[in-house]
């Protein structure tokens, strides 16, 4: 499958990127998220320079990703504990009814 060429706009600059057609929507959404984060940093701080803003945005997005992964992991652990408890309860209930 051939890649498509896509224009994205980040902090008033246009970039030409290539991606697989099935990844277009995700790439556009990613560019939108990055642009919003960079705009937020530019407006809310004294950081000057596109490169520094980009690094801070990348750090913020990576931190958000790690926090989300940790939360998902905690939910997964809790789900495992609940499943184990459910099996034990079912076993006890089964023993009581027999």
Per-residue pLDDT of the chain (98 residues; tens, 9 = 90+): 799 999 999 999 999 999 999 999 999 999 999 999 999 999 998 888 989 999 999 999 999 999 998 888 787 777 777 777 777 777 777 777 76
Domain count, the chain: 1
Residue 45 phi/psi, 5-degree rounding, is: -145, 180
CATH number at residue 27: 3.30.160.880
Q: What is the span of the domain harbouring residue 8?
A: 4-97
71 exposed, middle or buried (CB, 10 Å; 0-12, 13-18, 19+)?
exposed
pLDDT at 77: 77
pLDDT at 11: 93
Whole-model pTM: value is 0.67
pLDDT at 73: 79
pLDDT at 21: 94
pLDDT at 96: 78
Closest CA relative to residue 57, chosen from 36, 27, 32: 36
pLDDT at 26: 94
């Amino acid at each position: 499958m051939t890649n498509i060429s896509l224009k994205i706009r980040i902090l008033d600059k246009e970039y030409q990127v290539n991606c697989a057609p099935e990844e277009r929507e995700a790439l556009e959404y990613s560019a939108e998220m990055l642009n919003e984060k960079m705009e937020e940093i530019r407006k809310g701080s004294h950081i000057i320079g596109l490169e520094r803003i980009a690094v801070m945005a990348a750090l913020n997005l990576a931190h958000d990703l790690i926090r989300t992964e940790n939360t998902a992991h905690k939910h997964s652990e809790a789900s495992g504990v609940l499943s184990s408890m459910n099996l034990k309860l079912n076993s006890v209930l089964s023993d009581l009814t027999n």
